[in-house]
Chain A
């Protein structure tokens, strides 16, 4: 896939990136900053001292097993779960200190598409457009409904929709404000293969326009296909971080194999290393005990 060229003008933190193909000028500093983020529930630490940044034009993937802390991190970034320690910023705005400014800069796709069942798809999308003050909202809604082949269902109550149709409405509601940042939690759940491919291409196109996508997924082929950089988490700790090449170098895994196989090997190597370290620690503790 052809990537859009991004020209950096000005300083890296404060300057502006000019994207010649689109004429867009976006901030070139990190669009997402997670600094020493820690989340504890009582004595249980869900995420510990996590730090990463995402720059414009990137699709950044958070990977990990169940309970790794991916959703907890995403929920802190979108203002759903308050950090126990650390800072989370979107486009320079602290999500918990400047919530209104921060929330105006991102669209969010949650893992479960809970919506108002008694609204029609068009009414819900208009409500979202009003909250985000989207210009020319009706035409944009028509365009997105057409894109996801939902035009015929636009006037129907959402309670009559299938899981996949609801997920599409959620995706439209996140894309409608055309925010510089898109934060996505498990985007493909419930989508048919056609829609899944559309969404994959959408994310790539979104980042290629100089915007930023942060996504969590269990689908390693998806992550490998679309992500520019990755963080692999396990039980709230970072096991590995970087581009595919950097992760390969870190884990000593060879490139190649069938599509997606490479990331799978990296992922399991990181998990195995962590489990081996954990076992060694336990043995050491048992020996000391």
Chain B
């Protein structure tokens, strides 16, 4: 027997007991919690203070805004509060649609591409336990922010209507179920797809199919109410009515509508039966995913590790004309082309573009359907909904702009040690995202303004505010993403859920509100006093001119300061 220089096993040391004799099963959640604690202690405290401050400001703003809106609308009686109910429903539909669209890709990334899986799935741990942890992580990555965004608003509604104590529990539960259901669906789809997708292209095929199926599911439920479709297809008049009804937020087949009804009724002291199908659906999806995972998870993971068979073609593939054109723009151009190439090749990235289109579609369909009888309401809501558009652009930027630098991941050394400056890197990333947010912002601004039949001033303001958001929000995303990059994230979904990511979301939401407030005076003047301010005349008042100048200033400063912060901090990175 060798008596070489081996360290004494811990179990042989006096007074120490081996861990496995404690009878305690290892807790993966405790392990994650421990790791989170270490990260928290080592991270700069100013970051947490900033995030905490922003969160408080956001919660206060939400509560204050909701309370004021309810008071204002309540002065019109039930019609007014019902309008609030519909807007709440639109909000829940839009947010849960966003979660549904992203849950499958996030589930594939979290369940199959996380780096810690190499360790976890080779340990003597039940697959179910690892799967449970990863589904929980998927929920945190996709639904944490929407849940926290909705809760203060929902609880304010409950306080406003003097709801009984149990209603608060029901409301929190309904909000959690609203976002847990799409996560369960995403996990179910992820496990199924990873098991059946062809070996060698498992990740690509699964992600592509996952996104398409999620989008199709949302649209089928939202736009094709199957129970009435067959009856009405033959009658053109009824078909037109049906098309209008598709957009109606009160869709009996839509889970967020069940949640919305449940929350609204609970706030009024009644327990709505619609919460039962929501509960059953969520349990079914999560239970089904767990059942499937116990059979197919480990195998799917092993299949995902198999790479495609190389074709070994020695003929050199030369640079395309487009690549050469980008290269002529300098290092930043080459970087932009490299990013474009990676985005188009990586389904977890290009699928984000589909999500953008799908989110915009759901939002516009929902906005067009808001039944508002009073013209002034329409104008005011038409202006306020610009803040929601800002939220959508923020959601998009959370996926595209904020992770832009972090997705360099561990290959960042190649840029850091190469002759390309942090300024060039940040600008290249910003200019790559800008076309997407500009197109999205303009489409949302123009289409929603026209579909709500807003006056000329509001249409112009809608376009200007959308443009400003389209410039500033991705700059905030790229800037803060570069200031606090996560090159070592376990999976890409984690990148946004960090102090920097949360700060970005908070700041971009605040910006959406700030840009509205700057032009609120001329907007309300044109809506409430159309006889005094016809055409664009509200914009030529001192408040209008100052508001426009203010918007220009915050747009320029917002872009410049955000990007500057990004490249300065990236340069200082150790």
State the A residues within 8 Å of B (CB).
Answer: 78-82, 99-100, 103-104, 108, 110, 112, 114-116, 118-120, 122-123, 126-128, 130-132, 138, 141-142, 151-157, 159-160, 173
Contact = CB atoms under 8 A, between A and B. Distances in A.
Contact of B314 (A100, A152, A160): A152
Contacts of B230: none
A126 B414 contact: no
A118 B345 contact: yes
A81 B317 CA distance: 37
Contacts of B419: 100, 103-104, 131-132
Contacts of B529: none
A155 B315 CA distance: 8
B574 to A, nearest CB: 6
Contacts of B341: 118-119, 123
B409 A156 contact: no
Contacts of B342: 116, 118-119
Contact of A118 (B317, B323, B346, B574): B346
A80 B318 contact: no
Nearest to A107: B417
B207 to A, nearest CB: 13
Interface string B411-430: 10110111111000000000
B421 A126 contact: no
B307 A78 contact: no
Contact of A138 (B307, B315, B318, B416): B318
Nearest to A115: B411
Contacts, number: 87
Nearest to A170: B414
**Of A103, A108, A119, A126, most B-chain CB atoms within 10 Å:** A126
B269 interface: no
B316 A80 contact: no
Contacts of B420: 131
A155 B417 contact: no
B417 A80 contact: yes
B271 to A, nearest CB: 51
A122 B320 CA distance: 12
A103 B422 CA distance: 13
A156 B310 contact: yes
A126 B414 CA distance: 13
Given A115-B411, A159-B307, A131 B418 contact: yes
A128 B572 CA distance: 23
A127 B339 CA distance: 11
B310 A131 contact: no
B331 A130 contact: yes
A126 B319 contact: yes
Most buried by A among B308, B311, B413: B413
A131 B331 CA distance: 5
A80 B413 contact: yes
A116 B323 CA distance: 17
Contacts of B323: 126
A156 B315 CA distance: 11
A156 B316 CA distance: 11
Contact of B307 (A99, A116, A154, A160): A160
26 contacts: A79-B417, A80-B413, A81-B574, A82-B572, A100-B421, A103-B419, A108-B417, A114-B410, A116-B338, A116-B342, A118-B346, A120-B317, A122-B316, A123-B341, A130-B327, A131-B418, A138-B316, A138-B319, A142-B316, A152-B313, A155-B311, A155-B316, A156-B310, A156-B311, A157-B308, A159-B307
A84 B308 CA distance: 46
Given A103-B418, A104-B419, A116-B411, 8 more contacts: A80-B413, A80-B417, A100-B421, A108-B417, A123-B338, A131-B418, A152-B312, A160-B308
B251 interface: no
Contact of B310 (A78, A99, A104, A153): A153
Given A82-B572, A116-B338, A153 B312 contact: yes
B245 interface: no
A115 B408 CA distance: 9
A78 B341 CA distance: 27
A72 to B, nearest CB: 11
B498 interface: no
Nearest to B327: A130
A127 B338 contact: yes
A127 B317 contact: no
A116 B441 CA distance: 31
B248 to A, nearest CB: 43
Contacts of A122: 316-317
Contacts of B421: 99-100
B326 to A, nearest CB: 9
Contacts of B572: 82
A118 B347 CA distance: 11
B314 A151 contact: yes
A169 to B, nearest CB: 11
B419 to A, nearest CB: 4
B411 A114 contact: yes
B334 interface: yes
A116 B335 CA distance: 12
Contact of B334 (A100, A104, A131): A131
A32 to B, nearest CB: 14
Contact of B417 (A78, A119, A152, A156): A78
A82 B420 CA distance: 17
B418 A132 contact: yes
